[in-house]
C-alpha cells in the first residue's frame, strides 16, 4: 500500500524544464522577436497627428496599393487552394515516374531567392520572353501589370497549401471512401461529404499561410509588376519608397494599417478553422 501511494505521488519525468521556466523563455523570445519590433512600429506612428496619419494612409497611391496588394493576394491564395489541393492529391494518391522530382519542385519557391523568382518570371512572361513573345501578339500581357503581381504571388504561395494539405490526405482513412462507394455514393458525393470535411481545416490553414505570405511579398513582385503608380504598385513598395525619402513615420503608418488588416483577416480565418473543427469533430 505504501509502495502504491509512493508511486502515485511521484510526478512523471519531463524532458524539458517545468511550465514556469519554459513559459518564461517563450514569452521572452516572443517579446524580443515579435512584440518589441511591432511595438516600435506603433510607437513611431504615434509621432504623427491624426491628420498626418490619415493623410499618409489614404493618399491615392496608397489606396491603390491596398487594393492591388490585398486583391492580388486573395486571388493568388484562392488559386493556390484549388491547384495546391490537386497537386497534393496527385502526390499522395498516385505513384508515377519522377514523383520524387515533382515533390521536390514543390519546395523550390521556398529555396529560391525571391529576387531570382521575380527575374525568372519576368524573363518568361515579358513581351520578349520565352512565353510572353507568343502571348503578347494575342493581346495577353502577363508582365508589368497587375497580372504579373498575381502570378508572382501564386508562385511563392503554392508550397504553403501543398505542404499543409499533403500530410492530412496521407492520414485520411481510405476505408471511409470505400464504404461510401459501396453505399452508392458518387465520386462527387464521396469527395464533398467524406474527404472534404476532413481536409477543410488544413485547406483553410494553407489559404491563411499563402495569403499572409503574399501580403508581405516584395522581392519577386517588383521585377514583374512594372511598379506603375496607381496601377501596379504594391504596398510594400510604397513603404520602401517612404523609407528612401526618410519619411519614417509615414512608412510606419502604412505598415500599421497593413498589420491591423492582416491581423483581423487572420483572426477571421482562425475562427473559421475553429468552427470547422467543432463541426467535424476534428482535434484542435
Is 21 domain-assigned? Answer: no
Residue 177 within a domain: yes
The pTM of the full predicted model, rounded to 2 decimals, is: 0.84
Task: Label residue 68 by pLDDT band (50, 70, 90).
Answer: very high
| Residue 149 domain flag | yes
Average pLDDT of the segment spanning 170-186: 77
- 220: nearest Cα among 85, 76, 90: 76
Q: Residue 272 and residue 284: Cα distance in Å, rounded?
A: 12
44: pLDDT confidence band, cut at 50, 70 and 90? confident
Residues 268, 204 contacting (CB under 8 angstroms): no
Total domain count, the chain: 1
Instruction: For residue range 15-25, list pLDDT tens digits in order.
Output: 666 777 888 88
pLDDT of residue 178: 73
Q: Average per-residue pLDDT in the chain?
A: 85
Q: Compute the half-sphere exposure of residue 55: CA atoms within 13 Å on the CB side of its CA.
A: 7
Domain presence at residue 266: no
Quick one: which of 123, 134, 152 has its CA closest to 222? 152
126: nearest Cα among 226, 227, 228, 237: 226
Question: How many CA within 13 A on the CB side of residue 150?
Answer: 16
Is the Cα dihedral 196, 264, 26, 157 positive or negative?
positive
Q: Tell me, yes or no, whether 129 lies in a domain.
A: yes
- Shortest CA distance to 112 belongs to which of 73, 51, 171, 155? 155
d(CA 22, CA 33): 16
Which of 58-72, 76-90, 162-176, 244-258 is predicted with the least confidence, judged by mean pLDDT? 162-176
Q: Please report whether residue 253 resides in a domain.
A: no
Q: Do 215 and 70 contact (CB within 8 A), yes or no? A: yes
Whole-angstrom Cα distance, residue 212 to residue 134? Answer: 33
**Which structural domain range is residue 216 located in?**
67-232
pLDDT bracket for residue 157 (50, 70, 90) = very high
- Name, in order, each residue with C-beta under 8 angstroms of 272's C-beta and a sequence gap of 6 or more: 204
pLDDT of 4 above 70: no
In a domain, 93, yes or no: yes
Judged on CB neighbours under 10 Å (0-12, 13-18, 19+), 93 is: exposed
Residue 58: inside a domain = no
The half-sphere exposure of 145 on its side-chain side, counting CA atoms within 13 A, is: 10
DSSP H/E element including 117: helix 114-125
SS (H, E, C) 22-63: HHHHHHHHHHHHHHHHHHHHHHHHCCCCHHHHHHHHCCHHHH
Element (H, E) at 232: none
Return all residues near 58 (Cβ < 8 A) that are at least 6 apart: none
Q: What pLDDT shows up at residue 234?
A: 93
Query: What CATH number should be reported for the domain holding residue 160?
Result: 1.10.3720.10
pLDDT digits (tens, 9 = 90+) for 93-134: 889 898 999 999 999 888 888 888 889 999 999 888 889 889
Measured in Å, how far apart are the chain's first and last C-alpha atoms? 39
Q: What is the greatest pairwise CA distance in the chain?
A: 89
Residues 6+ apart with CB under 8 A from 239: 251, 254, 255, 258
Asked if 79 and 154 touch (Cβ cutoff 8 Å), the reply is: yes
Amino acid at each position: 500500500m505504501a509502495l502504491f501511494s509512493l508511486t502515485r505521488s511521484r510526478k512523471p519525468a519531463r524532458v524539458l524544464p517545468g511550465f514556469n521556466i519554459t513559459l518564461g523563455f517563450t514569452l521572452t523570445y516572443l517579446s524580443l522577436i515579435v512584440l518589441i519590433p511591432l511595438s516600435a512600429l506603433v510607437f513611431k506612428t504615434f509621432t504623427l497627428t491624426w491628420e498626418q496619419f490619415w493623410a499618409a494612409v489614404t493618399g491615392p497611391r496608397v489606396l491603390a496599393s491596398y487594393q492591388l496588394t490585398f486583391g492580388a493576394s486573395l486571388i493568388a491564395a484562392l488559386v493556390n487552394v484549388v491547384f495546391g489541393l490537386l497537386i497534393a492529391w496527385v502526390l499522395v494518391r498516385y505513384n508515377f515516374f519522377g514523383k520524387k522530382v515533382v515533390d521536390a519542385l514543390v519546395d523550390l519557391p521556398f529555396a529560391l531567392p525571391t529576387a531570382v523568382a521575380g527575374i525568372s518570371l519576368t524573363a518568361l512572361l515579358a513581351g520578349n520572353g520565352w512565353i510572353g513573345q507568343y502571348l503578347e501578339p494575342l493581346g495577353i500581357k502577363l508582365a508589368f501589370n497587375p497580372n504579373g503581381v498575381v502570378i508572382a504571388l501564386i508562385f511563392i504561395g503554392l508550397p504553403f497549401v501543398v505542404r499543409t494539405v499533403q500530410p492530412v490526405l496521407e492520414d485520411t482513412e481510405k476505408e471511409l471512401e470505400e464504404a461510401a462507394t459501396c453505399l452508392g455514393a458518387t465520386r462527387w458525393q464521396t469527395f464533398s461529404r467524406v474527404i472534404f470535411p476532413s481536409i477543410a481545416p488544413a485547406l483553410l490553414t494553407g489559404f491563411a499561410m499563402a495569403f499572409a505570405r503574399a501580403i508581405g511579398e516584395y522581392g519577386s513582385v517588383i521585377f514583374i509588376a512594372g511598379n506603375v503608380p496607381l496601377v501596379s504598385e504594391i504596398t510594400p513598395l510604397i513603404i520602401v519608397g517612404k523609407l528612401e525619402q526618410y519619411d519614417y513615420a509615414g512608412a510606419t503608418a502604412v505598415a500599421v494599417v497593413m498589420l491591423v488588416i492582416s491581423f483581423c483577416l487572420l483572426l477571421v480565418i482562425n475562427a473559421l478553422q475553429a468552427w470547422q473543427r467543432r463541426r467535424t469533430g476534428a482535434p484542435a
